[in-house]
Amino acid sequence: MVIPGFLATDLSTVLMRRALEQAGYRAYGWRMGINFGTRADTLVRLSARLDQVRAEAGEPVALVGWSLGGLFARELAKERPDAVTRVITMGSPFSGDPRGNRVWRLYELIARHPVDAPPLPVNLPEKPPVQTVAIWSARDGVIDPACARGETHERDAAIEVGCSHLGMVRAPDALAAMIGALAG
């Protein structure tokens, strides 16, 4: 299941899902419209979607999250490790300063809460109890690379790619890293 970033929709992850399908995976969107940021019911709604996907797939599901979608994926895996096989984050700021990015002010304006005080309990740097791979780029341009790479105790592996933040959803090296992380 692929979860889009802030202000993005399933349309923004079409190339990611297509690459997954070409690699032999079944790929599912989040089907929650525009990602306007964390809401009090975000994890409840994502959990319901996870149940739908798991029922259709007949087995636990891998979560791939781009940017803010990766934060949602990590938190969902903490709540539902029984239903999740692994989490792959792509340019997701789960580590360090929550303001270690260029969009935190816009996020606060749209989401209507401080970036470091979401309307539900989270512990972003805590590693989910499933395999967790952080795909990050020194050339991201939006997210501080250290925040997306994380510390060794916050993820199982980190893969550097050479694309921009927006390129995470379409750059060949990012898509190859995503597929490799699923296979590994």
CATH number belonging to domain 2-183: 3.40.50.1820
Q: Are 73 and 169 in contact (CB under 8 A)?
A: no
Q: How do residues 67-86 score in pLDDT, each as one tens digit?
A: 999 999 999 999 999 999 99
The H or E element spanning position 132 is strand 131-137
The CA distances from residue 93 to 33, 46, 115, in Å, are 21, 19, 11
Q: How much is the pLDDT for 184? A: 82
Residue 135, SS3 per DSSP: strand
Q: Give dist(CA 90, CA 6) in Å, integer.
A: 13
Q: How much is the pLDDT for 68? A: 98
Domain boundaries, given as residue ranges, for the chain: 2-183
Which residue stretches of the chain have pLDDT < 50? none
Q: How do residues 19-30 score in pLDDT, each as one tens digit?
A: 999 999 999 999
* Residue count (the chain): 184
Q: How do residues 97-119 score in pLDDT, each as one tens digit?
A: 999 999 999 999 999 999 999 99
Q: How much is the pLDDT for 143? A: 98
